[in-house]
Structure 1
Amino acid sequence: MIGRWAALALTLAVVWMPPAATGAEAPVVLVADPWCPHTCDPAEGSEGYMIEIAREAFGLSGIEVIYKTEGWSRAMRDVRLGRADGAVGALFDEAPDLVTHAEPLGMQVNVLVTLGDDSWHFEGWEGLAGRRVGAVSSYSYSAEIDAWLKDHPSEVQMISGSDAALRNLKKLMAGRIDVMLDDEAVVGDAVARLNSPRPVRIAGRLPGGSLHIALNPKRGERLAQILNRNIRALRASGRLATILERYDLSDWGRKTKR
């Protein structure tokens, strides 16, 4: 009789063992807007190099990644409300109320783009007077750029939602804006996808910053530690460089020329 009860108790212990006791950790839910090549729409064939790096970094610690695309404003809101663990593509100081890991997951280089037959060059903010600038309302470009955009609403046409780079590029082609502001790699991807016969040119480059995952504080500190450790491991093994090469990019941490 005692043996039968002992066997039953052991069976119940196995059945009711909580997930934490098995060593398993809940998947990490990441959200981002399509901002290719940093973060892309998987339906178009690629997740983006930042998602690939994050997936492999968490994978080294046995954590599954679930990735969803949505507008940037909604992505940040979902992280703050705990509906997602992290928004991918945030500048380091973009969201002080969220947790940000130290090791960059990517780099942003801001550019001002015009049509190919426009001879204008950026030589200072005063040179943008009278020019219609296309930007994205929910993005943070840099402290300096953000301040200029806020102080010059009459010269800025803001859009929101997904695939903003491609939509602003179409506005530029249609003559509805004179200058497009976005990340250099993102503009290059949008130009390739649009495949327009009208050429565009970079009229100026402006500092951007390192790109990270803005993490919900509930799991943020632990996930940040995992990212910091495993991004360094991916770099040391050469795996990070391999991922970036598929997107025609170089490892910013290696100080190699792009």
Structure 2
Amino acid sequence: MKNLALIFASTSLVSISANAATVSIRADEWFPMNGEPGASKPGFMIELAERVFGDAGHTVDYKLMPWERALDSVRKGDFDCVVGAYKDDAPDFVFPEEHWGLDNTAFYVQEGSDWTFNGYDSLLTQKVAVINGYAYGEEFDQLVKENPQVFQGIGGNDALEKNIKKLEAGRVDVLVESPSVLAAKMKDMGVTGFKRAGDMGEPSKMYIACSPAKESSKDYVKLVDEGTAKLRESGDLEKIMANYGMTDWK
């Protein structure tokens, strides 16, 4: 019986090992959703991914990459997933049913500015900083495309930092960003003196989204749905969010 037990245990371990995978995640830095790889606080979405996939026997390979490049590389199947995605960012990607938080987009100006957001036409007299490849919404994205003299797009891993510096220096009048992300980055940079001048619209759902080119994506988003439910039920999801000064979005 002992020999049979050993054989069964060995076979089980081989089976688990054979099914184990490395789930590659790429995204630009968008803290507190995702931050510096290997940091004590890599972002709540990275911690959720590590728990969800780790509990299924997988490991996570997370690295930073400019957003446009991350979307393109995952779309082609070079990597598995992105985090911090809206469905408008990549409608062709494989999405779980379970979203990983809500986010809204706001307009920021220097404290001395008297400009406030009053519809998209009010932006056309300003110089506006945006990030290349971000999906801000169909109408706003079209506005950006049609008015390159107004909207200054920038890419790269440090795009937000550069946009903050541009607003601080007066090279742009308005900065478009997530309130939670901007607050975290300004704190990190030691920057003050901005104020919120309006919101773009209703909050949007954020997701981990996986490659449309890989069969494994269907399995990964199923793990996300099942794993997120388990983390919520156990209270571990709330603990992860609390580590970032946030609460469960449901």
Q: Name the TM tier (shorter chain).
A: 0.7 to 0.9
TM-score (norm 2): 0.88
Give the match for residue 241 of structure 1.
238
**Of the two, which has the highest radius of gyration?**
1
DSSP-derived class of the 1:118 partner: coil
2:57 to 29, 45, 62: 62
The residue correspondences of 1:129-140 to structure 2 (distance < 5 A) are 129-140=124-135
Residues 210, 27 of structure 1: alpha-carbon distance in 2 compared, 3 angstrom cutoff: same
Give the match for residue 179 of structure 1.
174
DSSP-derived class of the 1:75 partner: helix
Q: Is the Cα–Cα contact under 8 Å of residues 37 and 62 in structure 2 kept in the other structure?
A: no
More deviation in 110-119 or 53-62?
Answer: 53-62
Equivalent residue letter for 2:49: A
Count of aligned positions: 239
State the shift of 1:46 in Å: 2.5
Give the match for residue 70 of structure 2.
75
State the shift of 1:143 in Å: 2.2
Q: Is the Cα–Cα contact under 8 Å of residues 89 and 134 in structure 2 kept in the other structure?
A: no
Residues 22, 186 of structure 1: alpha-carbon distance in 2 compared, 3 angstrom cutoff: closer
DSSP-derived class of the 1:29 partner: strand
CA RMSD of aligned residues (A): 2.3
Give the match for residue 220 of structure 2.
223
For structure 2, the 5+ residue unaligned runs are 1-9
The residue correspondences of 1:75-114 to structure 2 (distance < 5 A) are 75-114=70-109
Q: Is the Cα–Cα contact under 8 Å of residues 142 and 209 in structure 1 kept in the other structure?
A: no
Give the match for residue 195 of structure 2.
201
Q: Is the Cα–Cα contact under 8 Å of residues 96 and 224 in structure 2 kept in the other structure?
A: yes
CA distance in structure 1 between the partners assigned to 2:169 and 2:115 by the alignment: 18
DSSP-derived class of the 1:114 partner: strand
Give the match for residue 53 of structure 1.
48
Moved over 6 A (4+): none
Give the match for residue 10 of structure 1.
none
Q: Is the Cα–Cα contact under 8 Å of residues 88 and 135 in structure 2 kept in the other structure?
A: no
Identical aligned pairs, as a percentage? Answer: 32
Give the match for residue 3 of structure 1.
none
For structure 1, the 5+ residue unaligned runs are 1-13, 254-258
Is 2:138 the partner of 1:143? yes
Q: Is the Cα–Cα contact under 8 Å of residues 32 and 72 in structure 1 kept in the other structure?
A: yes
Give the match for residue 154 of structure 1.
149
State the shift of 1:187 in Å: 0.6
2:229 to 225, 228, 232: 232
Q: Is the Cα–Cα contact under 8 Å of residues 99 and 215 in structure 1 kept in the other structure?
A: yes
CA distance in structure 2 between the partners assigned to 1:190 and 1:59 by the alignment: 29
